[in-house]
Amino acid sequence: MGTSTSKNGRRDFYSVRRAAWILNLHPSSLSRAIRVGELRAERRSGRLAIPASELTRLLAGAAASQGGGRK
């Protein structure tokens, strides 16, 4: 799946498989999250694509839930 890139060279969208790898999840778990509305995805060229902003949101939430900083 081709991914579009922004002006800074980063990807704007990720495939389900690539996003699952980044999040250390099984692709079927990510597909389930999309299906139940926990994760936003768009159809691009007939395939589901996850916006980079969604991955950032999920990663920020995971860091916050793990304590994310010093005490």
Radius of gyration of the chain (CA): 13
Which pLDDT score, from 0 to 100, does residue 7 have? 62
For the cut 70, the answer to whether the pLDDT of residue 70 exceeds it is: no
Strands of 42-44's sheet in order across: 13-15, 47-51, 42-44
For the cut 90, the answer to whether the pLDDT of residue 31 exceeds it is: yes
In contact, 50 and 16? CB cutoff 8 Å: yes
E strands, the chain, are 13-15, 42-44, 47-51
For the cut 70, the answer to whether the pLDDT of residue 8 exceeds it is: no
Q: What is the pTM of this model?
A: 0.74
Residue-wise pLDDT tens digits, 43-54: 999 999 999 999
Q: How far apart are CA 41 and CA 54, in angstroms?
A: 8
